[in-house]
Amino acid sequence: MAQGSSAGEPVPSRSTRADTPAPSPSRDAGPSPDATPPPDAAAPPPDTTPRPAATPPPLPAPRTGADPGATVAAPEPGAADPDPGAHPGAGYALRVANGSYDWYRTAAMKARRAFRLSETLLLLASAAIPVTAALTATNAEIPAVLGAVVVVITGLRSVFHWQEDYVRFSEAREAVEAERRLYHTGARPYADRETRDQALAASVTRIEQREMGTWTQLATPRADTTGTTPP
């Protein structure tokens, strides 16, 4: 028996110690630091919402001109391309023609309404005079009033010249419209882009001057049968 051992207790040999398995670690010792943690079952699902594609930055404007560092600004969206044949006065003649056409059109419509209204009233008042004179033989006031209305309407016609204005303004309006059509279609004398605006302005001016000359003749007092003008 080995020394130092108590009586009655056997001492294990070295071979017995080597064959004895090491005790397993306790379950309460916790997970090993090298162990992989299990996946989290409560993790949110991945976001599958489609995202808009990123807009690429605009390309720089090409360089042109003698200066290698100069750049040409890009034109604004919706801007009209410059007309190589345009000059500083381009567009003015067409605005003049459009304004002249609109004025003559409005003036002709007003003159036509006034002319038709005056003619209708004159016809009704003239027809009512003999009727009222027959129905009210003892009362001469109504026929007298109707006769005065006829005289007033006739005098207004000779002063304002509604019929002549209607015809004169309509003629000038159609003349301006004819020039505008030739201008838009590029017909003669508006075929040359360098002189078409000057030609249109000159044509509209001639039409307006001719119309003004007609108005001057209407407004000038007419000579009587003896050849003398009234004072």
Q: Is 183 exposed, middle or buried (0-12, 13-18, 19+ CB in 10 A)?
A: buried
Residue 208 near residue 168, CB atoms below 8 Å: no
Q: What does the buried/exposed string (b/e) look like for 44-81 if buried means 16 or more CB atoms within 10 Å of the residue's CB?
A: eeeeeeeeeeeeeeeeeeeeeeeeeeeeeeeeeeeeee
Phi-psi region of 8 (alpha: psi -120 to 50; beta: other; left: phi over 0): left
The answer to whether the bond into 84 is cis (omega within 30° of 0) is no
What is the Cα–Cα distance from 210 to 216, expressed in whole angstroms? Answer: 10
111 has a pLDDT exceeding 80: yes
Q: Quick one: pLDDT at residue 38?
A: 53
> Which range has highest mean pLDDT (22-26, 83-87, 219-223)?
219-223
Question: Residue type for 142, please?
Answer: I
What is the Cα–Cα distance from 127 to 146, expressed in whole angstroms? Answer: 9
Mean pLDDT in residue range 117-142: 92
Q: Quick one: pLDDT at residue 219?
A: 80
pLDDT in tens, 22-50: 554 444 444 554 555 555 545 556 666 66
Q: Quick one: pLDDT at residue 48?
A: 67
Question: Residue type for 119, please?
Answer: E
